[in-house]
Structure 1
Amino acid sequence: MVYLDYAASTPVSKEALHVFQQLSRDCYGNASSLHDAGGKANEILTYSRQSLAKLLDGESDGVFFTSGGTESNILAIHSIMNGLPAHKQHIVTTKMEHPSVHYAVNALTHRGVKVTIIEPNEEGIITKDILEEALLPETGLVSIQHANSETGIIQPLAELAPLLKKRHVFFHTDAVQTFGKIRVSLKELGVDAISISSHKVYAPKGAGAVYMSTEVPWKPLYTGAVQESGFRPGTVNVPCIGAFVAASEQTILQLEEQHKLDCQLRDYFIQQLKKQQLPVRTLHDNGKRRMLPHIIGCFFEGFEGQYVMLACNKHGICISTGSACASGYHHPSPAVKALHLSDRDALQFIRISFGRMTSKDDIDQLLHTFMNLQKETEGE
């Protein structure tokens, strides 16, 4: 099998699996228990919190562990809005966000929170002017993803942050797709809250985290919880969190090397598309955008993305038509439509994403499948 869907999920690394197995076997106590077994689990949790905070350029008391990226986004947004006064109940987010962000803001509307959904410019970028136009005196929170999981387009958060600081508006970002791929620093980005997930960095599914600045006056979504300083109820999954942090440490150490490899694979893929004269256009063809190199959004002329994906799957190649969390819905992706494309073009969208084990041979097999698809069209 050729796996080219790393943006959806990554395989568990040997190191992360080893940590998970070891902690499951030797550190099975409840971290909230007062006996020695609980204390041992709590020590692992404390180390994990400190390590992850360091990787995010923050403080350990700002880290709250969750079950994954979706819960991280929902809890971060609700907790921040819960802590804001009545005159700051307006949230701004974008059309391209992960579905979990839209779940969160839609739920907030039922309790009277005003929501504004903004669209990017034709390059897929939220500019300072676009954001400023959406801000109101009652705006309390802005949530903008660091980079889109479907298109790979990176948002200029550091350029937007000063505007929000000036207006005393809190800034949350979904960094699930960027953590471990490019540098994610609380201080450099200028954000107040960050969401991340374990299964994007070669760790088991089931863990995630929210980093919340100590300046944020958050209040929990679930009242009465004692775990994670009240941020989230439920027994803390120490083995999964330990594996998450071990994988994160390893991924960050390899970040520059992997980034270079991703760029080489991307360039090779685009060069071969042109060399073989395949009717495939990529979002990377536009040099005005800053993009993640491991995600390539493509449009295969003459075929809907779903057909291309199924044809690749038939040949043992895994690609995507967009966000896996929205699979099963056969309509243009909001993130792709936000690029001001027609429904026809948006439905042709496919996503290829590289990872630690991707090779040029994998790319060649994909290109060969593309060539066969082209021949089908020419033969009609």
Structure 2
Amino acid sequence: MIYFDFAATTPLDSDAAEVFVQASTEFYGNASSLHDVGGQSQDLLENCREELANLLGINKKGLYFTSGGSEGNFLAIEALLSAPKKAGKHIIAGMAEHSSIHGVLNRLDGYSITYLPFNSSGLIDVEELGRAITPETVLVTVQHVNSEIGTIQPIGEIARICKEHDIHFHSDFVQSFGKIDFKKIAPLFSSFSFSGHKIYGPKGVGGVYVDSSISWRAFFPGGSHERGFRPGTVNVPAIASMTAAAQKIHDQLVQSHDQFLELRAILVKSLDPIKEFVHIFEAAADSQLPSIIGLRISGIEGQWMMLECNRYGFAISTGSACQIGMQAPAKVTQALGLSPQVAKEFIRISFGKTTQTEDVVKLGETIVEIVNNYKR
């Protein structure tokens, strides 16, 4: 099986796996324990916190470790709403946000929420966001990179607008972490979340940055771990492994970006024989993550295409795995204003560090063959 679903998850890097095993066997103490064994784990934990903070360009005092992106989004939003910059009950969110964002917003009582769609390039219109702001607006949450079509939102402009209006700004960095160097923009946010398993780290671990100047209240009362941010014994081995993976992928940012640009061009070229049926949802190159290609093939349901590709030995997807589990169309198709029938045609192809040129060519040729057979 040739894997083209790296936006969903990645295999564990071999070096990160070695770090996980070593930390599990040699630094097994509870980081909150006061004896020397616990102290060794605590030292490793804080070293990881400092290293990740340096990679991200943030104050380590605002970095908290979680079980992943979904929990991170939940806790970050709850933290910001516990300490708003002003009184109000209005929130602005992207329509195509990850299901974990929609989940936490749907459970809030007493808040009104404005959802912003995408324009034809898969981007939020900053002017429309400005018009949506009211005196009651206390939070804006916009995903940095869309997980289904890979568009990079204009978060620098959004952050500036939020600052001008005393509004907290949260961003889901799960798809951009390890793929974009956001050291310069990270301090612009009130909070952001990230995850380990998208960067060849282990599953079940991630992190949240909350501006250390914010006096948030813990959602789970009485917790002592992570300075009260979340309960539960801290998963030091997974954090160490994620940190190793983050260091490694950060050193390869430019090289990986150039490689994915080339692979994207090769795949698009290979689809030329059926180009009249193919519609790729993308932005201009400077606003597009090249490793994610969201597209539809006119007249063919995405799930059928995914299953046919699987039969031929290729793993692609029909969007976010979390959304697929809910048996609902990809959120991005709603944000783009696609009809329910057209939305069913959506598929996603995503590259990773092990993706080979010849495999991309084979995938393109296979999709062409499947489409031609179907159309006949």
TM-score normalised by structure 2 residue count:
0.96
Equivalent runs, 1:140-219 vs 2, <5 Å: 140-185=138-183, 187=185, 190-219=188-217
One of 334, 339, 358 as aligned partner of 1:337: 334
CA deviation map 1:65-98 (0-9, x unaligned): 0000000000000111022378233221111000
Q: Name the residue aligned to 2:47.
A: 47
Cα distance between partner residues in 1 of 2:85 and 2:249: 39
Contact 1:186–1:194 (8 Å) recurs in 2: no
Q: Give, in whole Å, the separation in 1 of the partners of 2:111 and 2:107.
A: 9
After superposition, residues 1-380 of structure 1 pair within 5 angstroms as 1-84=1-84, 87-108=87-108, 110=109, 112-185=110-183, 187=185, 190-274=188-272, 279-284=277-282, 287=284, 290-379=287-376
Matched residues, number: 376
Supply the distance in 2 between the matched residues of 1:164 and 1:226 (Cα, whole angstroms). Answer: 32
Deviation at 1:138, TM superposition (A): 1.9
Q: 1:187 to 1:301 in 2, by over 3 A?
A: closer
CA-CA distance at 1:126 after TM superposition: 1.6
- Calculate percent identity across the aligned residue pairs: 41
SS in 2 for 1:263: helix
Distance 1:49 1:198 in 2: 14
Change (3 A) 1:29 1:16: same
Measure the CA separation in 1 of the matches of 2:93 and 2:183. 21
Could you say if the C-alpha distance between residues 237 and 288 of structure 1 is closer, same or farther in structure 2, counting changes exceeding 3 Å? closer
Moved more, 294-303 or 122-131: 122-131
- Kindly indicate whether the alpha-carbon contact (under 8 Å) linking 1:306 and 1:321 is maintained by their aligned counterparts in 2: yes
* Superposition deviation, residue 275 in structure 1: 5.4
How far is the alpha carbon of 1:335 from its aligned partner? 1.1
Give the unaligned 5+ runs of structure 1. none
- Aligned letter for 1:124? G
Greater Cα shift, 189-198 or 311-320: 189-198
Question: Would the aligned equivalents of 2:84 and 2:168 in 1 still touch at CA under 8 Å?
Answer: no
Q: Deviations over 1:303-333 (max 9, x none)?
A: 1000000111112211010000011444432
Alpha-carbon distance, 1:123 to partner? 2.4
TM-score (norm 1): 0.95
C-alpha RMSD of matched pairs (Å): 1.7
Shift of 1:100: 0.2
Structure 2 residue runs without a partner (length 5+): none
2:139 aligns to what SS in structure 1?
A: strand
User: Per the alignment, in what secondary structure is the counterpart of residue 10 of structure 2?
Assistant: coil
Counterpart contact for 1:58–1:186, Cα < 8 Å: no
Q: Offset at 1:135?
A: 1.2
Query: What secondary structure sits across from 1:87 in the alignment?
Result: coil
> How far 1:181 moved relative to its partner?
0.8
Q: SS of the counterpart of 1:142? A: strand
